[in-house]
Structure 1
Amino acid sequence: MTNQILKYFGFFFVFCILFGSGFYFGFKTSQSQVTNLTATKSDIKALADSSLSSQDKIVTKEVEGVFWITPGQKPDCPETHKIKAKFNNTNSGIFYSPDNKNYAKVTPQLCFATEEFARNKGFLKKY
């Protein structure tokens, strides 16, 4: 019986030491100096500009009947691909033909040669 009491007392004592040291080291590290990282808007812009250099190349797969609008390119469809298409939030897309009343206002993400080709790729016509 005495052995069990001493054993439990020993466990309690070790627990108290470990628990107390955790508080001590936790408090000690919370009082240490923390260096705040600050950056100005011009620093952030300079970093963003340096990460996108003119040497970066965007590789797209050439597909017959599809014209991709790449970043930095004027969002216009060539004469050979008059169907303007956009992706929407549901991972599908819509396309606009030249007879659509909003055709001139649409900023395309890609262009198709024909309406049939756009439908075959899963795009829906916007009326």
Structure 2
Amino acid sequence: MDAGEAIPLQAFQALLHSSNIAMVCRALNMYQVAASYTQVSGGNPLGELADETRQVALRILGGPPVEGGGEIRAGFDHLSALNVLASVGQPEDAEVLARISAETTDEEVRALAQLVARSVG
């Protein structure tokens, strides 16, 4: 990685590991957008951070969804985490996805968890 590539990756990592959940959600959503670049450019510019991004998504899904207000709506953290798992999820994530699907009261989160579970399984 040259110096020009290091700054965007460092900025992404700073967002990904922020104590502000809205910033973390931005990073997860940025990863998802970058993953879609693969279709037109042949590669994800954030691809080398796939496992790190996956771990953050799983950590978010390990806790209750945000209540919302201010910068993000209720459950947006879980939606962001689930969306990114559609790109970086692994078969071993199926248990987490099944738990989210069974426990959530948010129909959008449930539907997305079920969709992602099918894609990683």
TM-score (norm 1): 0.22
Whichever structure has more helix as a proportion of its residues is 2
Bigger Rg over Cα: 1
TM-score (norm 2): 0.23
Whichever structure has more strand as a proportion of its residues is 1
